Amino acid sequence: MTVLTRETRETRVRVEIRPGPGEGTIDTSVRFLDHMLATLARYSGLELSVSARGDLPHHLIEDTAIALGAALEQFRPARIARYGDRTIPMDDALVHACIDLGGRPFYRGPLPSTLYDHWMRSFADHARATVHLRVLRGRDRHHVIEAAFKALGLALREALVVNEGGMSTKGDVSWKDQLLQTPES
């Protein structure tokens, strides 16, 4: 389980991630965001608990993406399949999502909502993931965005599968934090 809290003057976000049946408790005070995070939990197979409050919807949505991305980066096991790829049809919408959890942050969209396009970019940056979303069809913004969260969830489920052999030709990638001391210290 990973628990992360992000606090600024504008927002307070608490995220818990654990393996599970794809459920959780979501309460951000933004009903559509709650719906999208519950959808992401269900399709990714992760147990998500998210509690968030903020001054403006933009700050709340962005900081929730930052906190969830950072929590996912901490939660991720060392040896995973790493790659995931899914396409979801939802009524008029058809959205394709690809993800690489290999530590290289990058996002390419766009989604037909600047708030949720920004959510995806912030999530990718802080999860240290490459995320590509392609809206292949769709007129209804709700359907397109929801299909994107479903496709991302299924791609995450695929990428997070534990793979003892590893997928990267680099082998396991590890980071070590070191405090650098200068002679003046």
What's the CATH number for 2-159? 3.30.230.40
Give this prediction's pTM: 0.90
What's residue 185's pLDDT?
45
For the chain, domain boundaries: 2-159
CB atoms within 10 A of CB 26: 20
Helices (H), 46-174: 57-75, 114-127, 141-159
For all residues of the chain together, what is the average pLDDT?
92
Name beta bridge partners: 94: 89, 137
Q: State how far the Cα of 140 lies from the Cα of 127, in Å rounded to an integer.
A: 28
User: What 3-state DSSP class applies to 58?
Assistant: helix
Residue identified by tokens 């007129």 is 139
Where residue 78 falls among pLDDT bands split at 50, 70, 90? confident
Contact 120, 65 (CB under 8 A): yes
Contact 127, 107 (CB under 8 A): no
151-176 residue pLDDT tens: 999 999 999 999 876 555 666 556 56
What's residue 179's pLDDT?
54
Q: State how far the Cα of 144 lies from the Cα of 99, in Å rounded to an integer.
A: 18
